[in-house]
Structure 1
């Protein structure tokens, strides 16, 4: 049902994946200049994140403290992903050690930098959500969680990483401000 939209090329140049040819089966051979990961890992992580954030929203309807705690745990996952990259985040490590070995070889890879930025954006929304729930502003918590959920679901279901789309703009602004 969703196979056709997933075939569309909605990946920005910053996230465009690198197909691996039979001549270069090694991930390091095709990604010597730019650190890259298997595209299936971030999508797997996005599905877990989507489930966690849905649970946060369900919990928030009757127990905002529990929602704040679960969202804080997700914020830590986002922070680890932003600081250490997708391979070393809890969901990425789970994928790399337990899921990826059971799959066929990867045919596409994507750069790590936009993914780390997307995790940072997720962390910021989760942090705002935690503060909202913890400080008695559940509407703020719900809205922030909803934004994070929207972005995670786009990545999981349609391979459209919202943070990765924004990354080239931010990288360009950082480069321009460094020159000034």
Structure 2
């Protein structure tokens, strides 16, 4: 499946805002909600992810058609990586191991910020490296 690359970048922007709110508030429930968003995108695909639905309904109709599409595999893998970090962070906050919650959330925030601001998808690059090494 092919996706408009602006969709995952939009999702990364929303994720960045959510993760900043988690770090400010220390809310494990908000981080758990973000983990659910990551899980939905990973399991059902970007097309059915909440931020993907919002992008297609609210943002994409106002934009010119994309110049190119990209494979959905790398961003979907990146959502899975985000899910793992959000899950670890949620467990950290919920169990009182705040340093774990902050650390995992901070790492997820760094990756989301890189994608939202610079268009550099860290999880996508991990996916491509893994594909390269498993193809050998």
Calculate the TM-score normalised by the size of structure 1. 0.73
Equivalent residue for 2:19, pick from 53, 59, 63: 53
Partner of 1:109: 69
Deviation at residue 169 of structure 1 after TM alignment: 2.5
- TM-superposed CA distance for 1:97, in Å, is 1.4
Residue correspondences, number: 136
Answering whether residue 21 of structure 2 is matched by residue 41 of structure 1, we say: no
Normalising by structure 2, we get a TM-score of 0.95
Contiguous gaps of at least 5 residues in structure 2: none
Structure 1 residues 1-180: aligned runs within 5 Å:
35-60=1-26, 67-174=27-134
Residues 37, 111 of structure 1: 8 Å contact kept: yes
Give structure 1 regions of 4+ aligned residues with deviation exceeding 3 angstroms. 172-176
Alpha-carbon separation, structure 2, partners of 1:125 and 1:175: 27
Structure 1: unaligned runs, 5 residues or longer: 1-34, 61-66
Query: CA-atom RMSD, angstroms?
Result: 1.2
